[in-house]
Amino acid sequence: MCGIVGYIGTNEAYPVLIKGLHRLEYRGYDSAGVAIVGPDAGLNVFKAKGRVADLEAFCKSKNISGTIGIAHTRWATHGEPSNINAHPHYSQSETLALIHNGIIENYAVLKKELALNGYTFQSSTDTEVLVQLIEYIKVSNKVDICTAVQLALEQVVGAYAIAVIEKGNPDLIIAARKSSPLVVGIGDDAFFLASDATPIIEYTNQVVYLEDEEIAIIRRNKPLKVVSIGNVEKTHEIIRLEMNLSQLEKGGYPHFMLKEIFEQPRTLRDCMRGRINVELTNVVLSGIIDNKEKFLNARRILILACGTSWHAGLIGEYLLEEFCRIPVEVEYSSEFRYRNPIIYPDDIVIAISQSGETADTLAAIELAKEAGAFVYGICNVVGSSIPRNTHSGSYTHVGPEIGVASTKAFTAQALVLTLMALCIGREKKTISEERFLKLLSEINNIPDKIELILQSNDSIKTLSNIFTYAHNFIYLGRGYSYPVAMEGALKLKEISYIHAEGYPAAEMKHGPIALIDNEMPVVVIATNNGAYDKMISNIQEIKARNGRVVAIANKDDTMVKAIADYVIEIPETEECLDPLLSTIPLQLLSYHIAVNKQRDVDMPRNLAKSVTVE
Ligand code: G6P
């Protein structure tokens, strides 16, 4: 949450900073700001409530020249979204400006002490406390800015990625991180700083990912220097990024979300490339093979995740139990870390995260590692914190996902879990060779089948018109379709703000059925699998109460078509692969309803894509 950008080089900083903020807007978008040291060495801060576009409008008449600057797009934690609470924050004497992503947990104590020393505060943020503390230390200890940052951070409890610039010093940015991500880009005659690599990639593909409690000293025309908070110089590895710019553009689609939904045939092919051999006889996930004994001897698998990734985790539970016969528990990372969970040293923990930065999942991983468990990450963002803090893992390889509502990352997470289950199941001999080969061959057909579903986009759009003004939705599924029902409901909530509940279909009778009347749309996943007959009964029960049924059913189905009000057809597949197909029409339905309601599909209110605070 919150996006950070910085630049120092030979060009004007402002255009680089604004473009970078646009790229990071998915991380938060309630206010934004820039700080620039001008040619006269003055320090100017401009900020505005609202989107980055509002900041740009505000800056039109301002003096934004200068070749060094920092910028921030905010997702409020302490203090409402407002001009005053927006970052950068000035220190008391307005000689320092600071941006921050994270939470300073002990800000209240620090604020009290600073107030006793004559400091006053304009905003309600924890961030302003940090910049005041740095100034206080700098002045009272008569030290340079870097030392002041180090001494201040020694007093800080919490998570931070920060950048500071100073009046009268057009040649230096100090940046530091703990628990929140920060990447330094190294150009020919410039340095870039950002929360992830997306603002950097169009200028350079050489980056350094800062580690926890590292400070980057970024100086004009001098090599990057990285030190610890205790001022020990650290070596840093320069990584070459593989990302390309077109992945960050909408490519002719009106929204990133629609682009990302349509990318799924390709992203799933990318995800399986190199993992399934061309003869369709073997699955190799190097992270599993390299740690084969651990997986073969696992007492239990714990899957930890948040949001959409947690729904993928539920699919993983069904897959791993079915094909590997290992007991699996799926938990929200936030719940796991704050209870007193039992973790055995021979447990395997699978942490799933698109961003690789979710604070609760990172903290849950630490807990599992402390207890001696082996931790395997399934992440999308290459080089992010979770892959760097797990023992092994598999990337989903879907490229940057920019729409805040996750789509292509979810299907790829489900696919990786499927491949994992097959890979482990075969090693354990808990899956027959015949079934293994049949599933592999069908996995290979999935991208083509998704292409077919995407051809229904126009009819799903037409269907969406009927439900634009619904106030509530219920989504029902059984078995592998139950997590899909929950994911379908979450998608609708996230981007259309319509209340929706995903439920296991049989549980309908234990509560949700009371909600059903002729105004209640019920989306039912009724594909031809083991629970088909039961789903038909559920549809009958809904119809008997005048509910309006939108069914996801297979092409040749006749029974569902005879009783449901509306049917979206999808091709048939193996039951365990059904989520990879049935999810697609639900993504499209949510998308079109949200567009009809004129919602900001890619940046829904109050949400952020990367939840780096607890
Ligand atoms: C936020 C995003 C969701 C995402 C969840 C978990 O809520 O808006 O799309 O599923 O975080 O994020 P992760 O990056 O860990 O998958």
Mean pLDDT, residues 491-496 taken together: 97
Neighbour tally for 590: CB within 10 Å: 31
Q: Whose CA is nearest to atom 13 of ligand 1?
A: 353
Ligand 1 pocket, residue 358 CB under 6 Å:
yes
The CATH classification number of 456-603 equals 3.40.50.10490
Q: How far apart are CA 319 and CA 554, in angstroms?
A: 22
pLDDT at 246: 80
Ligand 1 pocket, residue 607 CB under 6 Å:
yes
DSSP string, 512-554: GGGG-STT-EEEEE--SSTTHHHHHHHHHHHHHTTPEEEEEEE
Mean pLDDT, residues 526-551 taken together: 91
Tell me the pLDDT band of 278, cut-offs 50, 70 and 90: confident
Most distant CA pair in the chain, distance:
81
> pLDDT digits over 146-170, tens only?
999 999 999 999 989 999 999 999 9
Give 442: exposed, middle or buried? Use CB within 10 Å, 0-12, 13-18, 19+.
middle
- Report, at the CATH architecture level, how domain 3-246 is classified: 4-Layer Sandwich (3.60)
User: In sequence order, what E strands does 313-434 have?
Assistant: 328-332, 347-353, 374-379, 392-395
Q: How many helices (H) and strands (E) does the chain have?
A: 20, 25
Ranges in the chain annotated CATH 3.40.50.10490: 250-454, 456-603
Q: How far is the CA of 463 from the centre of ligand 1 (A)?
A: 28
Give me the amino acid identity at 197: A
Distances (CA, A) of 158 to 27, 98, 612: 19, 16, 11
pLDDT at 609: 83
Mean pLDDT, residues 434-442 taken together: 97
> pLDDT digits over 574-594, tens only?
999 999 999 999 999 999 999
Mean pLDDT, residues 215-244 taken together: 94
Q: What percent of the chain has pLDDT over 70?
A: 100
Mean pLDDT in the chain?
Answer: 95
Mean pLDDT, residues 400-417 taken together: 96
Ligand 1 pocket, residue 353 CB under 6 Å:
yes
Query: Is the confidence at residue 614, as pLDDT, over 80?
Result: no
From 247, 200, 165, select the one nearest 21 (Cα to Cα): 200
Query: Is the confidence at residue 394, as pLDDT, over 80?
Result: yes
Q: How far apart are CA 341 and CA 23, in angstroms?
A: 38
pLDDT at 250: 87
Ligand 1 pocket, residue 97 CB under 6 Å:
no
Query: Is the confidence at residue 613, as pLDDT, over 80?
Result: no
The CATH classification number of 250-454 equals 3.40.50.10490
Report the length, in residues, of the chain: 614
Q: Is 609 a catalytic residue?
A: yes
> pLDDT digits over 346-360, tens only?
999 999 999 999 999
Q: Is 379 a catalytic residue?
A: no
3-state secondary structure of 518: coil
Ligand 1 pocket, residue 384 CB under 6 Å:
no
Query: Is the confidence at residue 612, as pLDDT, over 80?
Result: no
Query: Is the confidence at residue 113, as pLDDT, over 80?
Result: yes
Q: Whose CA is nearest to atom 15 of ligand 1?
A: 353
Q: Whose CA is nearest to atom 7 of ligand 1?
A: 307
Pocket test for ligand 1, best of 353, 365, 410, 492 (most atoms within 8 A of CB): 353
What is the distance of C-alpha 449 from the center of its chain? Answer: 26
Query: Is the confidence at residue 513, as pLDDT, over 90?
Result: no
